[in-house]
C-alpha cells in the first residue's frame, strides 16, 4: 500500500483529531517548527506540515469565551 503524504491526508480528511487540546497542542508544535521564510518557497515537508496545521485549525472545536470583567454583584 502506498503511503499518503500529509497534504493528501489533509485533503481527504484522514488526519486523526484525538481531542481539542491535543489538536491545539499539535498546532502549536507544528507552527513553532515552521519558519516564516520557509513559507515563501516551501519544501514538500513544510507543505505537508502547513496542510496539517490548516486542517487541524479548521476542524478545531470552538472555545467558549467567558467574560470575566463583569462587575455584577
Q: What is d(CA 60, CA 66) in angstroms, rounded to the nearest whole number?
A: 18
Does the pLDDT of residue 54 top 90, yes or no? yes
pLDDT in tens, 27-39: 999 999 999 999 9
Tell me what the pLDDT averaged over the chain comes to: 85
Task: Please state, in angstroms and as integers, the Cα–Cα distance from residue 59 to each residue in 25, 48, 50, following that order.
Answer: 14, 17, 14
pLDDT confidence of residue 68 = 75
Does the pLDDT of residue 1 top 50, yes or no? no
Contact 23, 60 (CB under 8 A): yes
CA atoms within 13 A on the CB side of 35: 4
Q: What is the reported pTM? A: 0.76
Amino acid at each position: 500500500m502506498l503511503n499518503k503524504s500529509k497534504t493528501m491526508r489533509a485533503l481527504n480528511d484522514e488526519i486523526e483529531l484525538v481531542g481539542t487540546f491535543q489538536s491545539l497542542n499539535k498546532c502549536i508544535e507544528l507552527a513553532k517548527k515552521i519558519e516564516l521564510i520557509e513559507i515563501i518557497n516551501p519544501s514538500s515537508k513544510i507543505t505537508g506540515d502547513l496542510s496539517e496545521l490548516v486542517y487541524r485549525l479548521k476542524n478545531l472545536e470552538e472555545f467558549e469565551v467567558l467574560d470575566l470583567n463583569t462587575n455584577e454583584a
